[in-house]
Amino acid sequence: MGIVLASHSVSLDGFIAQRNGRAGPLHEWLSTGEHQSRHGDNFKLSDTSRDVFDGLIDRLGATIVGRKTYDDSDGWGGELPFEWPYFIVAHEPPANADEVPFTFVTEGVERAVELAMAAAGEKDVSLMGGDIVGQVVSAGLLDEIDIDIVPLGDGVRLLD
């Protein structure tokens, strides 16, 4: 049986997205490298980042997403970001719920974890979105948290 994990890119001061919910510069490392990921044409990473990213993706068998993250991503255009089940925790499913390949869970985060763990089998379940991570932590269901601190990249250092 897999585990429930939160793996997020985080700024040094704790942010995972811009105010508007968009990924922004924190996630540029996924597309500005020279090496193609094994997991999609959209991912171009540095050699080291590719190894870390591909290793993480290889572990996953399902994802739980908060409704705000789902909405902020425009529902990924109605397509799965990766080829495994996605469970969207929502008070109410969107009007087009029957037309998209996502499972909307209205019974709470505990039920979403139960469904995702069953779907993932021996693989791990990942979490997307700060609110959903908080809910899973509060429910005592988070097994692992991986935080990737994303540097500014270039600029003036305090002590150089």
User: Residue 115 maps to which CATH number?
Assistant: 3.40.430.10
- Residue 100: what residue type? V
Angle at 146 between CA 41 and CA 105, to 5 degrees: 75
Residue 154 lies in a domain: no
Residue 37 lies in a domain: no
Spatial contact of 30 and 120, defined as CB atoms under 8 Å apart: no
Q: Residue 118: its pLDDT value, please?
A: 98
Quote the number of domains for the chain. Answer: 1
Q: Residue 93: its pLDDT value, please?
A: 95
Q: What residues of the chain score a pLDDT lower than 50? A: none
Cα pseudo-dihedral 89, 107, 94, 96, rounded to 10: 100
Q: Residue 28: its pLDDT value, please?
A: 82
Domain limits for position 122: 4-20+60-149
